[in-house]
Chain A
Amino acid sequence: MSFPWAKPYEPTHPLMKWMDEKLPIPRLVYNATGPGYPVPRNLNYFWNFGVLAGAALMMQIITGIVLAMHYSANVGVAFNSVEHIMRDVNAGWFIRYAHMNGASMFFIVVYLHIFRGLYYGSYKAPREMVWLLGVVIFLLMMATAFMGYVLPWGQMSFWGAQVITGFFSAIPLVGEPVRQWLLGGFVPDNATLNRFFSLHYLLPFVILGVIILHIWALHIPGSNNPTGIEVKDEQDTVPFHPYYTAKDGFGLGVFLLIFVALTFFSPNMLGHADNYIPANSLSTPAHIVPEWYFLPFYAILKAFTFNFLWIDAKLWGVIAMFASIALLFFLPWLDSSPVKSSTYRPLYRWFFWVLVADVLLLGWCGMQPAEQPWVILSQLGAIYYFAHFLVILPIVSRIERPLPMPNSITEAVLAKHAPDAASGPAAA
């Protein structure tokens, strides 16, 4: 497939030979995640998160299908049908809590996966398409998670739907009709709940399809690695199986341990108490807060408090929030540095860590009420967020002098294991 030394698939058993002629799925698996897919030998634990995201999606789909067997998407009974699952369905409490916390785990691993890509330059040529498809998956995940949160029809479900669909009403002229069209009414109601349920069931399978494209696009150049140096020859790689299946197996175990601890010991830690109150269109909660994984974007939305030019503050906030994700589509061309890995980018590395701190700060601010000092902190945080991608990164990639790089992955690996580790530039 990707490299000439990839081990070819040679079935020996007659049944497998027969299958290979008729429908070569075993060949596909062998070449995609088996011994037929050579992978850089030096991947660190941050390369586990792609597989973990896939595992999280599968768990969401399985638990979700079971939940859909017991859930009713009707405003009169939706809330109680979730409580019916919690109380009367065999192991329903487990399925429901696993689905609820599974969403959080999915976002945790995807955020780590994205920041891994940012640190090691995985979005750069020749992997731009992998990155673009990844951003599409991220957007689909956000839509799916939002609609899923509406389904229990608690107070946060209802008011979250009210606020988020309200973004569309900021669009000049057509905003309000668009919002009503999306909701199927003037406020979130039964039509909204039904379509959200339908789309919440549909989108995970769309995500699955885009993931297949994401992996397909990845397998053409092969995986990036911590040095950012492309694979040169066979000694730079190991076969995916058994090397990375074993490592991913261990990673999956650690992931599941954390998932289990959250689901069984503190299932409501990341949730919000108000969502255990049935939806009530006449009573607005004191603080309407989205789920934690939307908080940085919510902080950017709220940071715009000034009518600038002919655009009012609300529309600025909405545009900025969508732009904060949309700009990721342009990242491969905003960063013109040919060096991928931050290990060899002494200047960009610092800005990367400032970005990590900035996103955490924005997340914290997103949780707070619209009061000082949170408003000014989210404004400063939003300034850095846009400056990082649109101003700093293009400049840094032009003026930065990268550190000396090893000639190959193997050289970097051997330098790390040399008795005098300080001798090689790759020692860091």
Chain B
Amino acid sequence: MVRPLGFLVGLGFITALVLAIFTTPLSNEPNVAYSFVKHPRHLKLASDGLVPHWDKAQLQRGMQVYKEVCSACHSLNLVAFRNIQDLGYTEGQVKTFAKGFQVPSINPDTGEVATRDGLSSDHFPAPYANDVAARAANNNAIPPDLSLITKAREGGKDYVYSLLTGYQNPPANLPAELKLGTGLHYNPYFPNLNLAMAKPLADNQVTYADGTKASVDQMAKDVTAFLVWTAEPKLVTRVQVGWAVFFFLLIFTVLAYLSYRNIWADKKH
């Protein structure tokens, strides 16, 4: 009974699928944007690979770029000032750094909306009070929070670095439907090529304390390295702990294998 019924059910599905094959066009709608979108360029960082470390000088430069450039529009909600001790700052330096920010608060006497100096336990304050304000100030596009940006985009850090350095004039053969909308900027690394964010970096836009020349490429690398850290501050710890666990288990596995061989030595199987 199961077999004849199953046979009929099977034929039903197969007929529906065969009809589906013959009614689905074999050619795709041409997607012209595909031929203009570029694959992200690879960015090599100290935090890559199986023996990563944080290049603290680079992270500090990257934070400077975030603070002086990106933070005008982009929040960094998940990062607290206390976290930047990871970047090689002392507790005192962190306190001073935090004090330089004004964070939303209330007046302790009247309860009215106010601001106060930042504390180490505060998070980086957001540039806009809310999404409506962010949208209104940015041509109807909300600048995304950057805390997780290198994990939240296909291509990760490579994508962020490529996007920051990828602004150019639209190619002459760009079809009309891909032409820029008002207030949009051409960037071949952005999936639909039209980006609301204007080119954010220009040479010597920041002055690095360590004397590194602030080219667009250098600033893009530094801020991307910083955003890799903000996306996963535990990245280096993770890989280091991983090796310890891996070697411990490797020894366990070798011993388990030897005891397995030993126990089975007299049994053919």
| Interface size classification for chain B | 35 or more
Q: How far does the alpha carbon of A247 sit from the alpha carbon of B259 in the complex, in Å?
A: 9
Contact B19 A306, beta carbon cutoff 8 Å: yes
Which residues of the other chain, B, contact A230 by a CB distance below 8 angstroms?
none
A265 to B239, CA, bound (A): 6
In chain B, what residue has the closest Cβ to A97? B238
Flag whether A407 is at the interface (Cβ < 8 A): no
* Contact across chains for A273 and B26 when beta carbons are under 8 A apart: no
CB pair B7–A391 under 8 Å, yes or no, is yes
Identify which of A273, A304, A394 gathers the most chain B CB atoms within 10 Å of its CB.
A273
User: Is A60 an interface residue, CB under 8 A from the partner?
Assistant: no
Is there an interface contact between A334 and B3, defined as CB atoms closer than 8 Å? yes
A306 / chain B contacts, CB cutoff of 8 Å: 16, 19-20, 23-24
Decide yes or no: A303 and B20 within 8 Å by CB, A41-B269, A257-B249, A389-B6 being known contacts: yes
| Contact flag A305-B153 (CB < 8 Å), given A238-B267, A264-B239 | no
Q: A42-B269, A93-B238, A336-B3 are in contact. Are A273 and B249 (CB under 8 A)?
A: no
CB distance from B258 to the nearest CB of A (A): 9
B68 at interface (Cβ–Cβ under 8 A)? no
**Is there an interface contact between A323 and B7, defined as CB atoms closer than 8 Å?**
no
Which residues does B use to contact A, with CB under 8 Å? 2-3, 6-7, 9-11, 13-21, 23-28, 50, 77-78, 83, 144, 147-148, 151-154, 156, 191, 231-234, 237-239, 241-243, 245-246, 249-250, 252-253, 256-257, 259-260, 263-264, 267-269
- State whether B26 touches A372 (Cβ < 8 A): yes
Q: Return chain B residues, CB-CB under 8 Å to A243.
A: 263-264, 267
Contacts of A380 in B (CB 8 A): 21
Q: Cβ of B151 and Cβ of A250 under 8 Å apart?
A: no
Chain A residues within 8 Å of B3, by CB: 333-334, 336, 394
| Cα A261 to Cα B250 with chains together (Å) | 11
| Contact (Cβ within 8 A) A304 B253 | no
The A306-350 residues at the B interface (CB cut-off 8 A) are: 306, 308, 313, 316, 320, 323, 327, 330, 333-334, 336
A249 B17 Cβ-Cβ under 8 A: no
A276 at the interface (CB under 8 A from B): yes
Taking A93-B234, A261-B246, A273-B152 as contacts, is the C-beta distance between A246 and B264 under 8 angstroms?
yes
Task: Kindly specify which of A80-88, A118-126, A200-208 makes contact with the partner chain.
Answer: A80-88
Q: Is the CB of A305 within 8 A of B23?
A: yes
Nearest residue, chain B, Cβ from A254: B253
Q: How far is the CA of A46 from the CA of B69 in the complex (A)?
A: 57
Measured between C-beta atoms, what is the minimum distance from B48 to chain A in Å?
12
List B contacts of A257 (CB < 8 A).
246, 249-250, 253
Q: Which residues of B contact A286 (CB under 8 A)?
A: 191
A242, CB-defined interface residue at 8 Å: yes
Contact A414 B20 (CB under 8 A): no
The answer to whether A249 and B21 have CB atoms under 8 Å apart is no
Which B residues touch A268, using CB under 8 A? 151
Q: How large is the interface on A (under 10, 10 to 19, 20 to 34, 35 or more residues)?
A: 35 or more
Closest Cβ of chain A to B117, distance in Å, is 23
**Does A253 make an interface contact (CB < 8 A)?**
yes
Q: Which of B7, B233, B260 contacts A394 (CB 8 A)?
A: B7
Query: In the assembled complex, how far is the CB of residue B113 from the closest CB belonging to chain A, in whole angstroms?
Result: 21
A83-B78, A257-B246 are contacts. A249–B6 as well, Cβ < 8 Å? no
| Sampled A-B contacts (8; CB under 8 Å) | A87-B83, A260-B249, A264-B243, A273-B151, A303-B20, A304-B17, A308-B15, A316-B16
Task: Tell whether, in the assembled complex, residue A308 and residue B19 are in contact, meaning their CB atoms are under 8 Å apart.
Answer: yes
Contacts of A390 in B (CB 8 A): 6-7, 9-10, 13
Instruction: Provide the bound-state CA to CA distance between A242 and B81, in Å.
Output: 55
Which residues on the B side are within 8 Å of A43 (C-beta)? Answer: 269
Taken together as a complex, chains A and B put the C-alpha atoms of A263 and B9 apart, in Å, by 42
A253 touching B252, Cβ below 8 Å: yes
Q: Are A250 and B253 in contact (CB under 8 A)?
A: yes
As a 0/1 sequence over residues 219 to 255 of chain A, the CB contacts with chain B under 8 angstroms (1 = contact) are 0000000000000000000100011001101101110
Is A112's CB within 8 Å of the partner chain B? no
A25 interface hit (Cβ, 8 Å)? no
A330 contacts B2, C-beta separation under 8 Å: yes
Point out the residue from B14, B25, B241 that lies within 8 Å of A383, measured CB to CB: B14
For the complex, give the distance between the alpha carbons of A313 and B156 in Å.
Answer: 37
Whose C-beta in chain A lies nearest to the C-beta of B6? A390
Q: How far is the CA of A383 from the CA of B12 in the complex (A)?
A: 10
Closest chain B residue to A336, Cβ basis: B3
Given the complex, which residues of A lie within 8 Å of B10, measured CB to CB? 386-387, 389-391
Residue of A nearest to B77 (CB): A80
In the complex, chain A residues whose CB is within 8 Å of the CB of B21: 376, 379-380
A260–B153 Cα distance when bound, in Å, is: 25
Q: Which residues of chain A are within 8 angstroms of B249 by Cβ–Cβ distance?
A: 253, 256-257, 260
Interface residues of A in 245-301 (CB under 8 A from B): 246-247, 249-250, 252-254, 256-257, 260-261, 263-265, 267-268, 273-274, 276-277, 286
A87–B13 touching, CB < 8 Å: no
Q: Are A253's CB and B257's CB within 8 A?
A: yes
Residue A417 CB within 8 A of the other chain = yes
Please provide the 7 A-B residue pairs with the shortest distance between their CB atoms, ordered closest to farther. A264-B242, A390-B10, A253-B253, A276-B152, A306-B20, A333-B2, A250-B256
Q: How far is the CA of A342 from the CA of B144 in the complex (A)?
A: 55
Q: How far is the CA of A382 from the CA of B24 in the complex (A)?
A: 15
With the chains together, A327 CA to B156 CA distance in Å? 41
- Do residues A413 and B234 form an inter-chain contact, with CB atoms below 8 A? no
Which single residue of chain B is at the shortest CB-CB distance from A256?
A: B249
Task: Say yes or no for A371: interface residue by CB 8 A criterion.
Answer: yes
Q: Which of A42, A97, A260, A371 contacts B28 (CB 8 A)?
A: A371
CB of A249 within 8 A of CB of B260, answer yes
CA distance A265 to B237 in the complex (A): 11
